[in-house]
Chains A and B, each alone.
Chain A
Amino acid sequence: MYEVKYPHLIEQLINNIEDLLQQSWHDVLQEYSHLSPRGLSLLILEKDKDILSRLQQTAVISPIQTLVAQLESQLAKPISQVIQETRSQRALELEQQVLLLQGDSNRRGISQLGIGEKLHHLMIHPITGFLILILVVYFGIYQFVGNFGAGTLVDTIEGYFEEKINPLVNKIVALLFPWPVIQDLLANDYGIITLGIRYATALILPIVSTYFLMFALLEDTGYLPRLSLMLDRLFKLIGLSGRGVIPMVLGLGCDTMATVVTRTLATKRERIIATFLLALAVPCAAQWGVILGLLASHPKGLLIWAVVVTSIFLIAGATISRILPGKAAYFYMEVPPLRLPKLENVLLKTYTRMKTYYLEILPLFVYASIFIWFGRITGIFDLIIGWLNPLTVSLGLPEAVSPVFLYGFFRRDYGAAGLFDIQETLTINQLVVCAIILTLFLPCIAQLQVMLKERGWKTTLAIISFIFPFAFFIGFVTSRILLFTGLFL
């Protein structure tokens, strides 16, 4: 078996520690008993936290610490660094012995060859990279998701529901159940089938599917890590490291998953900042889609929404990174080569996400319908709407929007779908204000669960109690600004 030989003094230390461990084996290391003594000694020298903390309670720790301190005073570098450097050195030597380079072999990777290399540099350059981002957003998101998914596809499926399925369901339910209360549970304006299933199937599914397809394509080409590199400079300003961009970019697909991915961040500080920004100002696939669907035909409104949400993202990020103690972490990210996506993987991934997403929201939408039905027959619904109405009106919105906010408490996409449903009754100014509030507003329940699990209830509570009033406050400010400037979109 291959064994790396370390500098003589370190080898001696390894032997000494092995002896110390063997002389008095400690039960605290029981879980590690299947590891080799040499490996264990090396882990100790590399300062493995778990093993060191277990040894802390034993008598063997002080002789080890003395030996390590002695050697560290003789070496110019920390022992762990010498060990890692020796390993890397041996690795490169071994590679030289077994790598067969033929002809004009190029070790730098496909991304550094020809077109790939040019594209790579264009993508990470702040100016050309930004132009590419705009192209991707315009064609990929605005045209494909906004106009095709949220426009053409939704119109077709939604039209089918409204013209064929809903009247049929209403008729059958009316025949089967003579009681209006039961009829309203299943059909009519707020029924499980006519509202819950219709929202999930006709509004959310086509939008989210086109978005997931787009996102899967971008993921598999290797564009996203380059986008992160390009955005790194921007993010440094607000105190997030380049690694912090990974969850942000993924959050544009699903904030819940992105909150889980904050684990890849090195410090607690970065994880809190990223969780906060994801909850506040990063719209997920469903929100993006529905908001694009609402505002795609009103580009000025879309622009105002984008400017407000981006500004809030930057201002909130800059503020929280100044409030939280600690400094920005270093940036290190693996940049994979640019690859032609494999159609099979793109389709399979899109399908898997669609299926998981649909199966997740379908029951939630059904529960929400039942909840609303229950709220309506008991009058609780009207009571809460009654409380919300003054708030809604103070935002310059009609009372019909109050239920949308109530739905939004269940899930942002449910609220957004509700908004989609009543869009004809609203002015564009009002649509923009609603879209901003729903973007900033409460994360969906799944995201809330993940936040609780990853960050604990104190941080989560702090984030949530900021976000709620803040979302409405910004909605209020935007509506007033639009009103006073007399800007009608």
Chain B
Amino acid sequence: MSCYGCSGNKCKSRRWLSLASNPSPEEGIIALVGMPNVGKSVLFNRLTGTYVTVSNYPGTTVEIARGKTQIGNKYVSVIDTPGMYSLIPITEEERVTRDLLLREDISLAIHVVEAKNLGRMLALTFQLLEVGLPLLLAINMIDEAKRMNIAVDSLSLEEKLGIPVVTMSAAKRQGIEQLKMRIASYV
């Protein structure tokens, strides 16, 4: 259908194939959400081993991509979503994410944020908490923040928010295992 990477249909068929070849039951669904260009797709690639196009360009993902990851001894569905600023959608691709989050039964939403723009992005965390979604905050690009001498007190943030908070750098493959361990209690 398109020249680029993995578009909706192709991913679905791949997912179907992996289901057919792998009899383990599906245990839960986790959705990666957040503003554009925070690294959701990189994290998706790291978790599932399925390639979706990644760019330093907001709006690269316009369709939902689905894959699978192993958490402990379970296989869990992972959904990569187009970036969004708020649960109240302005554009069509934001509506796709909103509908997925609000109308489907998600075991865990992972809100991916950038360490250096934490303040701008936490508003969406609040909104996701308000509607009562099971939520985990993944603070990404911690390496870039470090180079700017910025660090996040994730323990204190975890205490204040009352949800798990993980720091990581998906592009550098840092913090992925820790993230998986925290996911385990939700699926």
Minimum CB–CB distance from A446 to chain B (whole Å) comes to 6
Closest chain B residue, CB of each to CB of A30: B103
- A91 & B1 in contact (Cβ 8 Å cutoff): no
In B119-133, the 8 Å CB interface with A consists of 119-123, 125-127, 129-133
B19 adjacent to chain A (CB < 8 Å):
no
- B5 & A353 in contact (Cβ 8 Å cutoff): yes
**Nearest 3 CB-CB pairings of A with B:** A39-B131, A36-B132, A95-B119
- B56 & A221 in contact (Cβ 8 Å cutoff): yes
Which stretch (B21-29, B67-75, B84-92, B174-182) binds chain A?
B84-92
Cα distance, A299 to B140, chains bound together (Å): 47
Asked whether A91 and B2 contact (CB < 8 A) given A34-B105, A264-B93, the answer is no
Closest chain A residue, CB of each to CB of B144: A110
As a 0/1 sequence over residues 215 to 229 of chain A, the CB contacts with chain B under 8 angstroms (1 = contact) are: 010011110110000
A102 adjacent to chain B (CB < 8 Å):
yes
Contact-size category for A: 35 or more
A462 adjacent to chain B (CB < 8 Å):
no
Q: A91-B121, A91-B123, A221-B56 are in contact. List 15 more A-B contacts (CB 8 A).
A: A2-B163, A35-B102, A35-B132, A39-B132, A87-B123, A104-B149, A110-B148, A222-B57, A257-B4, A336-B57, A345-B171, A353-B5, A356-B4, A357-B3, A450-B1
A424 adjacent to chain B (CB < 8 Å):
no
Cα distance, A233 to B79, chains bound together (Å): 37
- B149 & A103 in contact (Cβ 8 Å cutoff): yes
Which of chain A's residues have a CB closer than 8 A to the CB of B131? 35-36, 39-40, 42-43
Interchain residue pairs with CB less than 8 A apart (17): A2-B126, A3-B130, A34-B105, A36-B131, A90-B123, A94-B119, A95-B118, A98-B152, A106-B149, A216-B55, A257-B3, A261-B59, A334-B35, A339-B56, A341-B56, A349-B5, A356-B3
Closest chain A residue, CB of each to CB of B83: A334
Which of chain A's residues have a CB closer than 8 A to the CB of B118? 95, 98-99
Cα distance, A259 to B131, chains bound together (Å): 33
- B4 & A99 in contact (Cβ 8 Å cutoff): no
A323 adjacent to chain B (CB < 8 Å):
no
CB < 8 Å neighbour of A101 from B62, B63, B88, B150: B150
A253 adjacent to chain B (CB < 8 Å):
yes
A164 adjacent to chain B (CB < 8 Å):
no
CB < 8 Å neighbour of A107 from B37, B148, B161: B148
Asked whether A254 and B59 contact (CB < 8 A) given A99-B118, A334-B37, the answer is no
CB < 8 Å neighbour of A2 from B56, B86, B116, B162: B162
B186 adjacent to chain A (CB < 8 Å):
no
- A84 & B161 in contact (Cβ 8 Å cutoff): no
Closest chain B residue, CB of each to CB of A271: B92
- B59 & A264 in contact (Cβ 8 Å cutoff): yes
Minimum CB–CB distance from A315 to chain B (whole Å) comes to 27
- A105 & B149 in contact (Cβ 8 Å cutoff): yes
Which of chain A's residues have a CB closer than 8 A to the CB of B144? 110, 337
Which of chain B's residues have a CB closer than 8 A to the CB of A107? 116, 148, 150
B18 adjacent to chain A (CB < 8 Å):
no
Cα distance, A260 to B62, chains bound together (Å): 7
As a 0/1 sequence over residues 48 to 80 of chain A, the CB contacts with chain B under 8 angstroms (1 = contact) are: 101000000000000000000000000000001
B49 adjacent to chain A (CB < 8 Å):
no
A171 adjacent to chain B (CB < 8 Å):
no
- B3 & A48 in contact (Cβ 8 Å cutoff): no
CB < 8 Å neighbour of A1 from B5, B60, B93, B161: B161
- A91 & B126 in contact (Cβ 8 Å cutoff): yes
- B56 & A220 in contact (Cβ 8 Å cutoff): yes
Cα distance, A221 to B55, chains bound together (Å): 9
- A334 & B58 in contact (Cβ 8 Å cutoff): yes
Which of chain B's residues have a CB closer than 8 A to the CB of A449? 1
- B4 & A1 in contact (Cβ 8 Å cutoff): no
A360 adjacent to chain B (CB < 8 Å):
yes
